[in-house]
Amino acid sequence: MNLLLAEVAQAAQRLADAGVPSPRFDAEELAAFVHGVKRGELHNVPDADFDARYWETVARREAREPLQHITGRAFFRYLELQVGPGVFVPRPETESVVGWAIDAVRAMDVVEPLIVDLCTGSGAIALAMAQEVPRSRVHGVELSEDALRWTRKNAEGSRVTLHRQDALSALPEFDGQVDLVISNPPYIPLTEWEYVAPEARDHDPQMALFSGEDGLDTIRGIERTAHRLLRPGGLVVIEHADTQGGQVPWIFTEERGWADAADHPDLNNRPRFATARKAMP
C-alpha cells in the first residue's frame, strides 16, 4: 500500500466518525481530486507526490460541506456539471426520474419534442434530456439568479434554452404546445427542517428544498403550470419525497384535467416520482 492509500484509509475513518454517509467513496474522491487522477489510479501516486492539501479537503468534508462543493463538480447520468454555493446539487435518485422521462419522450411520435424543465437548478435534468433525446427542444426555467450562474456555465454550448422565470407562471408563449414537463421541485415540509442532512440543510439553497407545511405547495402550483403548458396527451413527470408517494398522484386528478396519474419507484424501490397525462378534450 502506498502512502496515499494509507492516508485515504485514515480519512475514511474520520469521515465515518463524523457521520458522512459514504466515507470511503468520499475519501477516495477527494484524494483523486487533489492529486489530479482517477479514483482507480490512486495506487499509482508516488509517495513523494502526496499533497498535504488533501487533509484540508477532508476537514471540510468532515464538517459536512458537500463533496460536490469541495470538488466543484457533480456527476449526473452522462454529464459532469459545475456546482457550488447557490445551486442545488443533483442527486443520484433523480437519474431514474429522468430515465423514465427519456423513454417516454422517445416513445412519442414527435420529430422534435418540446420539453420544459421547471426549477432546473444546475440544469442537470434539462441537459440530460437534450443530450439523450435527439432533436429535442429543451427549455429550463429557474428563478434564482444565484443558481443560474451555475446553470449558464453548464448549458454553454448545449441545445438548452434558459429562462429566468417563476415556475408557476413560466413560458406562456408555449401554452398548449409542450410534449413533456419535468421537474424536481422543492418538496421538503418545513416541519422536517431539523431532520434534513447537514449537507443539504446548511448548503443547498433553502428555496430548492422547502415548500410549505406539507412540502407540496410548489408541486400544487406546478400541476397548474404543467396543465397550461402541455398539449392534450402530453406528460408531466415530477419528483417527490419517498414519503409522499401516496399524496402526489392525487394532485393530478381527472377533475383537474388529468389521466393515468401514477407513482413510480426509484432504484431502491422507494416511491420517487409521479406522472400524469393531460386528458384529451
Give the model confidence (pLDDT) of 191-235 as tens digits: 888 888 999 998 999 999 999 999 999 999 999 999 999 999 999
Are both 97 and 156 inside the same structural domain?
yes
- Residue 194's pLDDT is 83
Q: Residues 28, 117: one domain? A: no
Residue 51 dihedral angles phi and psi, to the nearest 5°: -105, 115
Q: Is residue 110 part of a domain?
A: yes
Whether 207 and 256 map to the same domain: the answer is: yes
In a domain, 70, yes or no: no
Assigned domain for 151 exists: yes
What whole-number distance in Å separates Cα of residue 139 and Cα of residue 106? 17
Assigned domain for 68 exists: no
pLDDT digits (tens, 9 = 90+) for 246-279: 899 999 999 999 999 999 999 889 999 999 999 9
Binding annotation for S-adenosyl-L-methionine: 142, 184
Residue 45 lies in a domain: yes
CA atoms within 13 A on the CB side of 213: 0
Instruction: Please enumerate, by residue number, every residue annotated as part of a binding site for substrate.
Output: 184-187
Q: What is the pLDDT of residue 45?
A: 95
Q: Which domain holds residue 209?
A: 76-81+86-278
Q: Which residues does residue 230 pair with via DSSP β-bridges, in sequence order?
A: 178
Looking at the structure, tell me whether residues 149 and 94 fall in a common domain.
Answer: yes
Q: How far is CA 23 from CA 17, 26, 77, in A?
A: 9, 5, 22
Residue 71 belongs to some domain of the structure: no
Q: What is the pLDDT of residues 52-91, one digit of tens each?
A: 999 999 999 999 999 999 999 999 999 999 999 999 999 9
Alpha carbon distance 25, 68 (integer Å): 12
- Which cell is 186 given? 422543492
Tell me, yes or no, whether 44 and 96 share the same domain.
Answer: no
Strand, coil or helix: 117 = strand
One-letter amino acid at 111 equals V
CA dihedral of 90, 95, 98, 100, whole degrees rounded to 10: -160
Tens-digit pLDDT profile for residues 133-157:
999 999 999 999 999 999 999 999 9
User: 92 and 50, same structural domain?
Assistant: no
Contact partners, residue 265, CB within 8 Å, separation at least 6: 271, 272
**Whole-number pLDDT of residue 195:** 86
Claim to verify: residue 103 and residue 205 sit in the same structural domain: yes
Residue that finishes a domain, picked among 12, 31, 63 = 63
Task: Mark the binding-site residues, compressed into ranges.
Answer: 142, 184-187
Which pLDDT belongs to residue 191? 85
Q: What are phi and psi of 259, to 5 degrees?
A: -140, 155
How much is the pLDDT for 193? 84
Under DSSP, the state recorded for 272 is E
Same domain, 59 and 90: no
Task: For residue 131, give the CATH number of its domain.
Answer: 3.40.50.150
| CA separation, residue 239 to residues 67, 70, 146, 228 (Å) | 23, 26, 22, 19
Same domain, 237 and 165: yes
What is the tally of structural domains in the chain? Answer: 2
Using alpha carbons only, how large is the chain's radius of gyration in Å?
20
Residue 169, domain member (yes or no): yes
